[in-house]
Amino acid sequence: MFRRFSGVAASALLLGFVACSDDNPSGGFDVPAESGSSVAESSGDSAGGSAANVASSSSQNVAVSSSSVTANSSSSVKVPKNTAACMWKGTEEYVPVKTGLDPDDKYSAGYWYNFGDYAEGGKSFVRSSRFCDDQLNEWECEVRIVEECGGFCGALDLDRGTASEAYVGFAFNVAGFEDPYSTNSKVKVGDISDWGGVCVTYAADQDVYLELEADSAHLYEAKLDKSIDFVEKCVTWKELNAVESSKQARSIRLKMKSIEKITGHLTVAAIGKYDSNGACEVDGYAYALPKGNGLDEEGLIVLRSSSSEQNVSSSSAGRDCNDPELVSGLWDWLSNPGSGIRLTTGNRVITGLDNDTETSGYWFSFGDDMSGVGSVKWPQPLGREYTTDDEMFDYCMGVCGELEFAKEGYLGVGFHVAGVVDPMDDNSLVAKANISSWGGLCVTYASESDLEVVLTYAQTSGFGDFSRMPRTTLPKSVKLNTVCTDWDDYMSMYSEVSTTFMTSILFAVQGNANTKSRINIRGLGWYSDKTNFCSTGEDPFVSGKKSLVIP
């Protein structure tokens, strides 16, 4: 009845990460950036894990020195940054932070890891986004997290448990480990006094604390105010009262802390040696993934390219247009045009309603079965039914194909909202789910024929009579088009079924015998009242992706 063509299960990881360049410092400390779930844990007194398994760690939270750094610069004159002092940027090649103390990567210096309050009785941890799947090894997962976020990112869940204070965050060791292949290896100390201090480019929805760790009892701390945009903060060792301790440094740490149980989101986009004018140029803006779907990703802060800013001036409409990515929280293959960073939900629609079988959201085709209506031709061969490859998605940057009708009827693609009841049974019933809270759907698509979006409630093979199901019609468009419709638009005098009992969502084209039509589904999201969406200057039915342009 239908054929599933993506079998990648989503999972989560958040561990190691990457670099930029080297040189000298100078003076000052607040330079704005350019604008435009699984948890790894271990206890002990080391500040990290081995190179092969970079683990979280904890240390006695004793701050010898504390200072505060103001969040936003009031300077109206842009002074060139000392980019030679930049040691790492998330948008560049995936390598460790170039601390200069391990040039041959012999001791695994500069790799990012998570740390927290576990040893003191705390329950804080880092949740990563579901950018990884069980087909990726740990290294591949780490690389993808950085690529997707434009930096090292995560949701920080703070819970002090029996500890006096909750804290959790990210860190890297400046000199590495005495034996990087041992899980119990001691952390090496290094002289980083010549850095003069450190510059951090970050975005966070809670205050962040920058620390120089000299040993497990000596942490030199500066408060970095929360910032909804990426901003670079530069702090000197003198301001930290850590001039001497910087000669025996173990790690640089960034954390959130609280007495209350809270969740914060932090993304580190760049690290540099101290310079009063800043060290790292970061091109882009901060975008928090939409909340409300109960997933690990909600609220996660990612670096978006300035070429796809949320508001793009529209010369034709004389007003701003909205980025379609803003309403594509369920499925996003728009991929941040021109940035080199691909932010997607993977091969799977993230419904947030999976029935614990991990079978929801996978795309399938329908009508190309024993019914004889016709066939759905994909731009790349499937190879096998449960492919883990991205080629078919990458070709048109979405779910795209040519529908060939042998007789009059419906052909198209769809996905199950909650999954199937029994994944081991080929004839399993489809689980029902309540999608009323979505309010409706926003769809970014192209179609050579009118496209029917159908809400189905059938649990067995065969979707039944589309005319009696809640549905709406999206007008044909050979250019990418974004339309948001609420559930009221789906209901008619014939559709008496509530959105609280849905099984699947279908994108269907009705065709006549011996005709063809092409479709491409690029993005899906919960209902929004946004209108006037930006278009792209591309042909959505040929391979490749072009930059976002003004309509």
> Of 57-61, 80-84, 87-91, 304-308, where does mean pLDDT reach its minimum?
57-61
Q: 290 and 333, same structural domain?
A: no
pLDDT given for residue 388 in this prediction: 40
* Lookup: tokens for 329: 């929280």
Shared domain check, 471 and 381? yes
Q: Pull the structure tokens for residue 382.
A: 């499937």
- 337/316 same-domain check: yes
Bridge pairing between strands 319-322 and 515-526: unpaired
Sign of CA dihedral 464, 467, 471, 475: positive
CB 415 within 8 A of CB 360: yes
Distance in angstroms (rounded) separating the CA atoms of residues 490 and 487: 5
Looking at the structure, tell me whether residues 373 and 467 fall in a common domain: yes
Per-residue pLDDT tens digits for 404-445: 999 999 999 999 999 999 989 888 999 999 999 899 999 999
Q: In total, how many domains does the chain have?
A: 2
Distance, CA of 39 to CA of 60 (rounded, Å)? 20
Q: Which domain holds residue 433?
A: 309-526
Same domain, 325 and 250: no
Strands (E), 274-379: 285-288, 301-304, 311-314, 319-322, 331-332, 364-366, 374-377
Average pLDDT value for residue range 355-378: 85
Task: Tell whether 374 and 522 lie within a shared domain.
Answer: yes
* Structural domain includes residue 534: no
Give the pTM.
0.56
Element (H, E) at 402: strand 399-405
> Considering the chain, what percentage of its residues have pLDDT values greater than 90?
42
Region 9-14 average pLDDT: 27
- Within a domain: residue 129? yes
Q: Which of the pair, 144 or 276, is modelled with greater confidence? A: 276
| pLDDT surpasses 90 at 209 | yes
